[in-house]
Amino acid sequence: MGDAAGIGPELIVKVLSQSGAYETCRLFVVGDPSVMREAARIVGAELTFEPISSLSEAKFAPPRVDVLCPEGVRIDRILWGQVDPAMGQAAALCLRKAFELAMAGEVHGVVSAPLNKEAFHLAGYDYMDELAYLADFTGSPDAFIMGVMGSLWTVAVTEHVPFREIADLITKDRVLRYIERMHEALMRVGIEHPRIAVAALNVHAGEGGLFGQEEIDEIGPAIEEAQQRGIDAQGPFPADTVFLTAMDQGYNGVVCMYHDQANIARKLLARRSGATLFMGLPVVCGTTAHGTAFDIAGRGIADPGSLAMALKYTARLSLPE
């Protein structure tokens, strides 16, 4: 359900109102039925939200939508657009329930509406973000984030770490691991021969060592090792042009060295159609490439494109290999 005070419930209603949402998967909501009904009222949707106590009761028969409400989740009043620890708690409990079902083999993929990290932290969750929480809860130490921006995918070798620590984390083994992860994900969505561009860390790709050695000592050797393993990886390309190169030359994925290298491009180029995928968990978890948008919450005007994209690729990645 995401944070109930944000645009998440509205986005869910809009996505579930699209007939195409049901073409590749059976859908239900983990959340508070009263919140979902209120969101449907605001949007003007003709869906009905019916509570169930277990998946065995689910009908999977739209326009009826089954709603499984976790223990401890009860939202009597929504304060639209406000940071509320109760909403952070409810969102976390919904995610936890979804992954309890995943670990029990009852669901094959999870799509989450956006959480508000401040509300999440105020609710007592001492994690950097929801991925760190899910990684801990499911015992998944190698969980990571991939981004989708249309036909181009991204992954960052480092994510939520202080900037001054990034260079020490750029090692050959780590860069190679993320090149391989990108290659595997692209193969799973049907790209037979993925082409992967790898970004440099330093300005001008280091200028032959003038501005840093990471390209020579770590990134370049990782690319060479990937090529030896049959992966079409090229680079390192200067970070200020890597996305231009990738789009102009038909690459399918870009491996970036840190969070902002990937996400500035994603948020400029795919503001409404990009998606975020949490990988390395018991099942794939898709979410939006944007936040809770408290400034427009409760108004019925949020664009569901990013959540629809998250659902599309979560479903594709959840198919048996």
The predicted-structure confidence for 8-25, as pLDDT tens digits, reads as follows: 999 999 999 998 899 889
Confirm if 111 and 311 have CB atoms less than 8 A apart. yes
Beta strands in 172-231 (DSSP E): 195-199
Structural Rg of the chain based on CA atoms: 20
CATH 3.30.350.10 is the classification of domain 151-264: no
Amino acid of residue 113:
A
Query: Which of 153, 148, 146, 151 lies closest to 254 in space, CA to CA?
Result: 153
pLDDT band for position 153 (cuts 50, 70, 90): very high
The predicted-structure confidence for 77-104, as pLDDT tens digits, reads as follows: 899 999 999 999 999 999 999 999 999 9
pLDDT at 271: 62
Residue with the bigger pLDDT between 133 and 320: it is 133
pLDDT at 270: 64
pLDDT band for position 268 (cuts 50, 70, 90): confident
The predicted-structure confidence for 178-189, as pLDDT tens digits, reads as follows: 999 999 999 988
**Is pLDDT above 90 for 158?**
yes
How far is the C-alpha of 137 from the C-alpha of 68, rounded, in Å? 20
pLDDT at 285: 96
pLDDT at 321: 62
Average model confidence (pLDDT) across the chain: 94
Instruction: Find where tokens 């500035």 sit.
Output: 264
Task: Report the first-to-last Cα separation within the chain, whole angstroms.
Answer: 28
61 CB burial (10 A radius; 0-12, 13-18, 19+): exposed
Q: 239-249 as b/e, with b when 16 or more CB fall inside 10 Å?
A: beebbebbbee
**Is pLDDT above 80 for 44?**
yes
Average pLDDT over residues 21-45: 95
**Is pLDDT above 90 for 41?**
yes
Query: What residue ranges of the chain are covered by domains with CATH 3.40.718.10?
Result: 8-145+270-317, 151-264
The predicted-structure confidence for 198-251, as pLDDT tens digits, reads as follows: 999 999 999 999 999 999 999 999 999 999 999 999 999 999 999 999 999 999
20 CB burial (10 A radius; 0-12, 13-18, 19+): exposed
How far is the C-alpha of 45 from the C-alpha of 20, rounded, in Å? 16
pLDDT at 132: 93
The CATH number, out of the four listed (3.40.710.10, 3.40.718.10, 3.30.2020.30, 3.90.330.10), of the domain defined by the range 8-145+270-317: 3.40.718.10
For the whole model, what pTM was predicted? 0.88
Choice among 93-97, 272-276, 310-314 with the minimum mean pLDDT: 272-276
